[in-house]
Chain A
């Protein structure tokens, strides 16, 4: 396995706010600290060449996990190993084998042309000229870097800059690339180019990619597997269809009727298949299952004058949203 995280924990301690002067004075000598578990007992493995999405609501612990994997934050307990390295202890050697993009930070030089930033990173990562030229040819073809290759970074649009950031993270042909919110704030065209570039680099070069994003499109189009973190805990680890089966409530038929909705509901609820039936707005919904074939459903609903009938599939966004809401409600 290329990435191994074993019972990762990250605890933060912050001073508790004093309510009055007496408490303020007392805490000068005896500070009262609040302990927050940012990440709790998170374990997973990622094989070489996988593209995995790390998802979760804001404050779930995604960025903390990425920071621990990239070696810029030490776990409070637990063990991380990436490409055979301990990210904290062997940081200087380890970072030569990884690429990192933090959506809010830049590896580029604001006042210099794009090509100069690439040359500086080539020197920093000691990339041999042949590898540099090979990677550059790929980036120019896939990301169209030629459009802005000679322009100072400060004159680039956010999308162009992010394309360059992603390209730089792959410049030294790393074994694994960590992308933290790479498509934040981008328009649809730029997102498509960005995803195309990441997909191509993941598939062609076999680079392992771990991506965090709130954009469901990134998850659906790039990753084969999803790690869902909430309240610092790993709540799900598996493929997208597996998540849909795990978090979703299945597929439904939705019918809009001219006749009495309540009577139709009662009729279907009494059907021997015992399938779930519900009313949502003006739609009567019944779970899709072989025990109630479509033809039979049409026959049963015919007396109620069907205006429209359609299958209802739950989107990943809807499922994730519901998952986060349920989790939040449980917390409260």
Chain B
């Protein structure tokens, strides 16, 4: 294992442990999550009351899509934006420059730790909900599905990292992060499946990064997607977003080093 990977692993495990050791917080999050899923169940049942098929989807398939996407959102939303903004405002980001690690990679490792810990306690709750609602995940290929989830994490993390740079401009990120979350959830297929959008919009969202935040990984997890084509496109966006995050990291460094912000 290379030194960089070992350092990333150490950071991820440390941050994961901190996230996982909050027992009361864990319990509250799981209960809140189950309540949210239960509400979604009744909401979507209400939507399907008059018609068993909408946008080519049955109630079971639409519900499975939405709850899987919401679970994914809950797990891979790791607060990278808030963390970076806080470090920028407190000046902690400058002292991190005295450690031999790339800034986006450091935050990526920290976020991965949070996502791993959240997966450990939220996936059992997701399993409980699937059992209760009689739904199940049937991916055509688990490796493709898991790779797509990893890409989705990478996209969302890179976006969060870039949004966190707003810490240089604003003291409160709430408005910015809330807008970001609303856009990625709505246009990414986490609030409603993209099948509900007009075909032209669907095509545009598929070529743009939006569909790859949630629609693509959920498609692989539920078995809606079987060919690796969507994953190739998702990977291409991961490369673009990671490149942008690296540029943003360099910008932060330049701003700190040159302007002493």
**Which positions in A face B, CB cutoff 8 Å?**
10, 12, 64, 67, 70-74, 88, 91-93, 95-96, 98, 100, 102, 105, 107, 109, 111-112, 116, 119-120, 122-126
Contacts and interface: CB of A to CB of B under 8 A. Distances in A.
B14 interface: yes
A126 B97 contact: no
Nearest to B254: A74
Enumerate the 8 nearest inter-chain pairs by beta-carbon distance, A residue then B residue, closest first.
A123-B10, A126-B3, A105-B95, A100-B98, A72-B97, A111-B18, A74-B257, A123-B7
A83 B97 CA distance: 18
Contact of A96 (B21, B100, B258): B100
Interface in B66-92: 91-92
B14 A116 contact: yes
Interface residues of B, number: 24
Contacts of A10: 260
B95 A109 contact: no
Contacts of B91: 105
Contacts of B135: none
A302 B105 CA distance: 79
Contact of A92 (B11, B100, B258): B100
Contacts, number: 72
Nearest to B14: A120
Given A71-B97, A123-B9, A105 B18 contact: no
Nearest to B10: A123
Given A123-B9, A124-B10, A124-B101, A72 B257 contact: yes
Contact of B92 (A95, A105, A123, A126): A105
A172 to B, nearest CB: 9
Interface majority SS (helix, strand, loop, mixed), chain B: helix
Given A72-B257, A126-B3, A119 B97 contact: no
Given A91-B97, A92-B102, A123-B11, 6 more contacts: A12-B260, A73-B260, A74-B258, A88-B257, A95-B100, A109-B14
A90 to B, nearest CB: 11
A124 B18 contact: no
18 contacts: A64-B260, A72-B94, A72-B98, A95-B99, A95-B100, A100-B98, A105-B92, A105-B95, A107-B95, A107-B99, A111-B21, A112-B17, A112-B18, A123-B6, A123-B9, A123-B10, A124-B100, A124-B101
Contacts of B100: 92-93, 95-96, 124-126
Contacts of A102: 95
B256 interface: yes
A116 B99 CA distance: 17
Contacts of B102: 92
A91 B250 CA distance: 12
A183 to B, nearest CB: 18
